[in-house]
Structure 1
Amino acid sequence: MNSNSSSMMVTASIYALLVLIWAATPLAIVWSVAEVHPMWVLIIRYFGASLIALCLLKFMRAPLPLDAVSMKSYLAGSLNLIGAQLFIYLAANYLTSGLMALIFGFSPLIAGLIGHVVLKTHKLIGLQWLGMGIAVAGLSFVFTDSADSKINPIGIVLMLISMVSYISSIFWVKQIDAPLKPMSQATGSLMISALGSLLLIPFIWQYFPAQIPSQQAIIGFVFTMILSSIVAMLCYFWLIKRLAASTVSLSNVMTPLIALVLGATLNHEHISPNAFLGIVVVMLGIVMYFWKEWRQQYFAKARK
């Protein structure tokens, strides 16, 4: 096996690991908050992840700049963590893990809409608008058909707020454009998130865990603290340096489907035939949205 083939295998393996972690994270969140208040889980997760990240940073001998620009970038990154994740944890009490993943799969579409309408950074073509419409129609069909499932409008609103926080964080970090290494950015954002989460304690002190949760809850908690917060982050930053954005964005099609299968298999989450049809329609809409980007990437490679 030559070095090029070996490199492709490594890249494919890391890509598959990232997709699996992202797909399993909603289920891990649902498990972790089943017996412990969501905000306590979030606080412990961020402090644990911060300590692990600091150890990795020291091992990698990477700096952690504390100048004004870097601190601003950490704050912007924390909007994705303590901002977006806070609402995801709250939504876990209202939605199944599969539907959480499906809704969050709309993040690139919402980001494109904000870039087109608000920031004027790029223009959406007709096929992308059509893809958005089809995806929204499919999601609406899923919710309508699943009236007897664990679906609550509050959960949907919380997930939408989470998506806006996540997308805003991305745009803000890019706008600041601090000269930071990925691990430094991630560690700083985790630390800001951990410190920010302390503000929640006066409101949730009465829900402090009084006993050790079940093995399933502990598995979910450890998964989110180590794999979701650290490993996935390292995989993501490794991939975006080596693959086109369009290739990485393909995970937004695969992740919800895998998450739905995991939820149904490991957590007995029911998916009716009609709801499954709606999910397929959502995936079709997302594929249509990304088609232009994937096609451009294909022809760019062909010209080389």
Structure 2
Amino acid sequence: MHSRKSLDSFAISLMIILCICWGLQQVAVKLAAPAIHSTVQLGLRSGLAAILVLLLILVRKTPFTLRDKHLLPGLLAGVLFALEFLAISAALNYTSASHVSVFLYTAPIFTVLGLHVLIPAERLQRSQWTGILSAFVGVALAFSGAFAANQHDMADMLIGDALAVLAAILWAATTITIRKSNLSEAAPATTLFYQLAVAAIILLAIAAGRGEPLLTDWTPVAWISMLFQTVVVAFASYLAWFWLMRRYLASRLSVFSFLTPLFGVAAGVILMHDPISLRFALGAMLVLAGIVLVNFRKA
């Protein structure tokens, strides 16, 4: 098993691009929701992306069999992946996309806590824990103004927020499962295929059981949203994420996810004309400061 390394300029640049894509996905789901139910969206994009990944495996002739050592951890990762998306889909029915973004991207907190306990190489120093705290406070501050202005029913909001936190825990559990199993050494396409295929089966089965229509009158916005979610998010960005996880320390990569809700707000400003408050600007600076601290490690 080769050792992971700290982030270099390439990894940092790629993570920023990924965070932009992930920040856009909540807006994409919301934009397509009038035409396609969120659970159907997540199931369809997972299934279509799984087909793309399988084609990539065949073209590259990557060793792959359902009877190899990756099967059980792959199925577990896929189930956790599906449950995370199911929690996100449910959360969006009760609370705002901003709330979901904030609580979903507390996942790095749960990830680094788990990795800190389970993997010696992933243990963080005091300054890095300070960075985690700074980033978390920054995210909370950046969204605090939106919380105050939200008019959703409080009971529904609490349910939605709790589901978003549950999704964050499931995301962290998926990351830890991959790092602590044979999947950590598997080809990125193999890991991604397991997650997408299992998630697609579970999510579409649940959608069908609820009577949610698969084929409806899709609008142009819905088509564009699904294309983005499938090719860019579920296929390309996740493949790049697993490639990074094989080569770099997962706890350092995970902390960059704090940037994602900030990019999500930026997408909201551009696409939905949401205002930017002073709290958001201050929160963004705290997030960036936290990332610098987390990626600084004494020799």
1:284 corresponds, among 265, 283, 286, to: 286
Aligned to 1:180: 186
Q: Residues 287 and 86 (structure 1 numbering): CA distance in 2 closer, same or farther, change over 3 Å? A: farther
1: CA distance, partners of 2:193 / 2:135? 38
Aligned to 1:3: none
Cα-to-partner distance string for 1:77-131 (whole Å, 9 max, x where unaligned): 2144212122122223344444433333322122223445x75864663762685
2: CA distance, partners of 1:150 / 1:56? 46
What TM-score, normalized to structure 1?
0.77
Aligned to 1:78: 78
Moved more, 256-265 or 235-244: 235-244
Moved more, 161-170 or 10-19: 10-19
- How many angstroms does 1:135 deviate by? 2.9
2: CA distance, partners of 1:130 / 1:238? 25
Letter in 2 for 1:44: L
Aligned to 1:219: 224
* SS in structure 2 at match of 1:64: coil
Q: Is the 8 A contact 2:102 2:143 kept in 1?
A: no
Q: Residues 24 and 189 (structure 1 numbering): CA distance in 2 closer, same or farther, change over 3 Å? A: same
Is 1:132 the equivalent of 2:133?
yes
* SS in structure 2 at match of 1:251: helix
Q: Is the 8 A contact 1:95 1:150 kept in 2?
A: no
2: CA distance, partners of 1:262 / 1:99? 15
Find the structure with the greater CA-based Rg: 1
Q: Is the 8 A contact 2:127 2:294 kept in 1?
A: no
Is 1:155 the equivalent of 2:174?
no
Letter in 1 for 2:270: T
Percent of aligned positions with the same letter in both sequences?
Answer: 19
2: CA distance, partners of 1:125 / 1:285? 17
Is 1:295 the equivalent of 2:296?
yes
Is 1:268 the equivalent of 2:270?
no
2: CA distance, partners of 1:248 / 1:231? 17
Q: Is the 8 A contact 1:77 1:186 kept in 2?
A: no
Which runs of structure 2 are paired with 1:1-304 in the superposition (5 Å)? 14-67=14-67, 69-115=69-115, 119=118, 122=123, 125=126, 128=129, 131-132=132-133, 135-136=136-137, 139=140, 142-143=143-144, 146-149=147-150, 152-178=157-183, 179-205=185-211, 207-209=212-214, 211-241=216-246, 245=250, 248-249=253-254, 251-271=256-276, 273=277, 275-276=279-280, 280-281=282-283, 284=286, 287-288=289-290, 290-296=291-297
Cα-to-partner distance string for 1:159-189 (whole Å, 9 max, x where unaligned): 1010111111111222222452111121122
| Gap regions ≥5 residues in structure 2 | 1-7
2: CA distance, partners of 1:232 / 1:89? 20
* SS in structure 2 at match of 1:62: coil
Q: Is the 8 A contact 2:134 2:286 kept in 1?
A: no
Moved more, 46-55 or 191-200: 191-200
| Gap regions ≥5 residues in structure 1 | 1-7
2: CA distance, partners of 1:145 / 1:188? 37
Cα-to-partner distance string for 1:254-292 (whole Å, 9 max, x where unaligned): 322221111121023345x26526xx337626743x555
Q: Is the 8 A contact 2:136 2:258 kept in 1?
A: no
Q: Is the 8 A contact 1:112 1:124 kept in 2?
A: no
